[in-house]
């Protein structure tokens, strides 16, 4: 049986994303989708990624207390 050099782990039929582990943590809701923090995570809507064949995948992500779920939320700026 031939030995495989463990250099390419992306040989599965499902390799939609070429993302580093940190990005996976965010997509799985283990870290804030915006800053990567892990404190006081709350539902932050959905993030979308594109698979190798062009399909869109939706992920229910979380954001931390310091990050807003809305991009245009400026209430914390005090202006």
Residue numbers at the binding site for Zn ion (CB under 5 A): 32, 34-35, 37, 64, 67
Least Å distance, CB 25 to Zn ion, is 12
Least Å distance, CB 62 to Zn ion, is 9
Query: Which residue, among 27, 20, 18, has the nearest Cα to 52 in the 3D structure?
Result: 18
In the bound state with Zn ion, the residue whose beta carbon lies nearer, of 16 and 45, is: 45
In the bound state with Zn ion, the residue whose beta carbon lies nearer, of 39 and 53, is: 39
């Amino acid at each position: 049986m031939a030995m495989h050099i463990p250099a390419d782990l992306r040989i599965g039929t499902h390799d939609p994303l070429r993302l580093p582990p940190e990005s996976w943590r965010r997509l799985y809701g283990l870290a804030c989708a915006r800053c990567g923090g892990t404190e006081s995570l709350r539902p932050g809507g959905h993030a979308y990624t594109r698979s190798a064949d062009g399909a869109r995948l939706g992920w229910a992500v979380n954001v931390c207390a310091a990050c807003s779920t809305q991009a245009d939320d400026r209430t914390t700026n005090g202006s």
